[in-house]
A and B are shown apart, each in its own frame.
Chain A
Amino acid sequence: MGDYAFSCWCEKVLEQVRFAPDRAAIARELRAHYEDHVQGLLDCGYEKELAQERSLEAMGDPEEIGKALDRAHKPWLGWLWQGSRVLVLVFLLLSLWGLIWGENGGENLSWRTKNQLSWQEPPAQALCREVPNGKVWLEVGEPQRMETGEVQVELGISLRLDDPTIPLTLRPEAMHWMEVWDQSGQIPWQTWEMEEQEFQPESNYRQGGNETGERKFVNDSWNGWYFPQVLVLDHWPEWIELRYPYGEGGGWSIRKEVGPWA
């Protein structure tokens, strides 16, 4: 009888609570209070039925209690909470999926982060230039005349972008479009693909792309890249210039004076 009366009371309370997903928890809590109260009275020597009756009376008016609980369990807050839980679950699954199967994957993330931490700014003697979205450095080594009569020059091009959110697939595309010049004209990049050029005799495909071959980046990090290159020339370079002929004002360039051969 007592239990039935409590159930009816509880039902009236829950009718007032608009956020339905919380009703079960509220019912559990109310029942716990009610049972504690009953137990307390039983311990004081009350008869069971009387203890239940008194406990139910002590619980108060179901409508008022229900309205108060409804104010505490606002539907918009409840739905927002539920939504935030779903959001966490969705992004948790998405990040797990991305880390395992994504283009960047967990391995790439850790590798890029590791490289990022070891990234060092080029030495002070490197020529530096602020460019849109980042900085470019050019290092030119001392030209060496070889026994064959050719001149070998080591170049180091470094690039650091302001924004680290560059996709791995896009890693600095600008590198493919940079040109190296000296007083005699544009110098072709030395690449492992040079032999392939014979099979592509009349094409400038992707200008900086196939012509320059696949660039081998060192320190492939989140926003820093270093591209070493060795130029082999049939003459002594008076200057070496890195040019990027795109963008506003016709692009930009960095020139390093080498001087005449001593």
Chain B
Amino acid sequence: MGLTRKGKILRNLLLALLLWAVSWAALDFPAYTTRGMCDQMARSLLLPELQPIYTRHDRPRKRMIGEEESAHLVIARSGETYVSFRYLQRGLCSSMDYGHHPPKMGNGALAMPYRGTMYVAGDFSGVEQAELCMKIQPFTMYYEEQEWQETVKEEERQFRFTGEKQGEELFTFRYRDDSLWPNESLLFFLSNEEDPEKREEPEALIYAYRNRQVGETGSGWLHVDIPLEVRLYDGGGKLLDTLEFQVDTYEFSNW
């Protein structure tokens, strides 16, 4: 005996549910919403719950020919732990970006640079102003047949930026001079890093931590911790606290 129409509907819906589960698993459990991303990260990081405090969605960029990728940055909090992570979405696939912006955690506060802006998260109740101080002293390590030869250091430069308060738990500091960097692509940065005008800009200097093989023109980018200091002030300009962070050069990566 054939199924009635209601029976067929029920059968099809059950089949669709099963196929949805298979496709969701085959696509590696993509998360499309901020809530879904936070839940996945909380489970993976063994945190009870992650509450998003900031999200940023960037328009799709060309990754390869015919393939576009959009980026979703999330800064979230679980108790006193702040977490930042990024999801990349390509078509129906949406997964955590562990390649260029792997998850970062900090107890009490967190600093992370992302596409020209330094995001500093923490409990900023009562804080009205904030100032970021970035010390950069690029150096080049010279190697010959994998043996370290010498390190050539440049003069140390300090940069100060005024923060913009984005709620009770986030300050943002724009460290990129947009007039100098109209194009955000990494290739554009690398091809302009020797430009004297741009060499006075923090982002270009961060790209100047290099290792080179003696006698060769190519170079590699070094992992180096950049010291940051964030000074927090109340409405009257009184210094309330100073936060110190170390941010790796690769975190400034422009991907």
Contact = CB atoms under 8 A, between A and B. Distances in A.
For A87, A92, A167, A198, the residue with the greatest tally of chain B CB atoms inside 10 Å of its CB is A167
Interface string A170-206: 1111100100000000000000000000111111111
A204 B246 contact: yes
A87 B13 contact: yes
Contact of B95 (A136, A170, A205): A170
B162 interface: no
A77 B46 contact: no
A104 B26 contact: yes
B55 interface: no
Interface string A202-241: 1111110110000000000000000000000000000000
A169 B96 contact: yes
B239 interface: no
A94 interface: yes
B136 to A, nearest CB: 13
Given A91-B16, A174-B46, A81 B22 contact: no
Nearest to A169: B95
Contacts, number: 179
B107 A245 contact: yes
A162 B43 CA distance: 9
Interface of A: 77-78, 80-81, 84-85, 87-88, 90-92, 94-95, 97-99, 102-106, 109, 131-134, 136, 161-163, 165-174, 177, 198-207, 209-210, 244-250
Nearest to A132: B48
A25 B135 CA distance: 78
Given A173-B45, A246-B47, A109 B25 contact: yes
25 contacts: A81-B5, A91-B16, A91-B19, A91-B20, A94-B19, A95-B23, A99-B22, A102-B28, A104-B29, A109-B26, A132-B47, A133-B43, A165-B25, A167-B96, A172-B46, A173-B45, A174-B45, A203-B222, A203-B223, A204-B246, A205-B251, A245-B107, A246-B45, A246-B47, A248-B80
A177 B105 CA distance: 9
Given A84-B9, A88-B12, A169 B81 contact: no
Given A167-B40, A249-B79, A85 B12 contact: yes
A103 B13 contact: no
Nearest to B251: A205
Given A84-B16, A205-B250, A250-B107, A174 B44 contact: yes
B249 interface: yes
B8 interface: yes
B41 A170 contact: yes
A104 B248 contact: no
Contacts of A81: 5, 8-9, 12
Contacts of A165: 24-25, 29
Contacts of B42: 132-133
Interface of B: 5-6, 8-9, 12-13, 15-16, 19-20, 22-30, 40-48, 78-81, 92-93, 95-96, 98, 102-105, 107, 141, 148, 211, 220, 222-225, 246, 248-251
Given A132-B48, A204-B248, A250-B107, A77 B26 contact: no
Contacts of B79: 247-249
A250 B80 contact: yes
Contacts of B6: 77
A203 B93 CA distance: 32
A72 B220 CA distance: 73
B5 A77 contact: yes
A203 B27 contact: no
A247 B46 CA distance: 8
A203 B45 contact: no
A202 B224 contact: yes
A166 B13 contact: no
A87 B16 contact: yes
A198 B148 CA distance: 9
Contacts of B211: 199
A203 B46 contact: no
B18 to A, nearest CB: 8
Contacts of A132: 42, 46-48
3 closest cross-chain pairs (CB), A and B: A98-B26, A84-B12, A91-B19
A134 B43 CA distance: 8
B225 A204 contact: yes
Contacts of B92: 94, 98
Contacts of B98: 169-170, 173
